[in-house]
Amino acid sequence: MKDPWLEKWDDRYSKDEYAFGIRPNDYLKEQLEQLAVGNILFPAEGEGRNAVFAAKLGWTVSAFDISAEGKNKALQLAGANDVQIDYRVGELPALNYIPEQFDAVALIYAHFPADIKSKYHKLLDQYLRRGGTVIFEAFGKKHLDYRLKNPKIGGPKDLASLFSTDEIKSDFSNYEIIALEEKEIELSEGLYHNGKGSVVRFVGRKK
């Protein structure tokens, strides 16, 4: 029997249209353009919009997701933009990344299941070199109220899968905090992120 979590994402990404569009996330774009290019990892990258954007800037891009359908769409998008990305499918512990392999990790709506999200953050930290940067945007704990008013904004339905600034401080305790806040923003990303929502944004530099 197929895992319901995997089935959800395979189903969503198997459609012709890109679920969250093909343009990069605004916060990712703003932050990435300030960094010197290097090696970057995109966890839970789905259909590749952010990874392809980074590759177009000259980054060496790695990405992963549990959905093979997401990978198919991402490689299709990469081909259309004449760039290459190393895209792996599976659970993070089995994907054979190397300690200190990356100069940046971009967690953009990487809502891993609640029971593993902190574990994954700690594992991702091992793959980032000292002085490297984490760029993070995902829905915060206050987001449930927004979701009730407007389901089109998307995001998890359970509080445990959402983020708080305290969680981020704990998971990335060995980081210099460049930016950390929960704020209301307006999203317009494809079919599933539309309207006002509450997000946690974080930029940190590994000490």
Query: What is the CATH classification number for the domain harbouring 112?
Result: 3.40.50.150
Give the Cα separation of 45 and 126 in Å (integer): 19
Work out whether strand 60-65 and strand 86-89 pair parallel, antiparallel, or are unpaired: parallel
Structural domain boundaries, residue 180: 4-206
Question: Mean per-residue pLDDT for 80-102?
Answer: 97
Give residues with Cβ within 8 angstroms of 155, minimum separation 6: 109, 111, 139, 143, 147, 162, 193, 197
Percent of all residues in the chain with a pLDDT value above 70, rounded to a whole number? 99
H helices present in 33-100, as ranges: 49-57, 68-80
Q: What is the mean pLDDT of residues 149-172?
A: 96
Query: Please, what is the average pLDDT of the chain?
Result: 96
Tokens 């902190």 sit on residue? 118
Residue 119 has pLDDT above 80, yes or no: yes
Distance, CA of 156 to CA of 15 (rounded, Å)? 21
pTM for the structure as a whole? 0.96
- Please, are residues 95 and 165 in contact by the beta-carbon 8 Å criterion? no
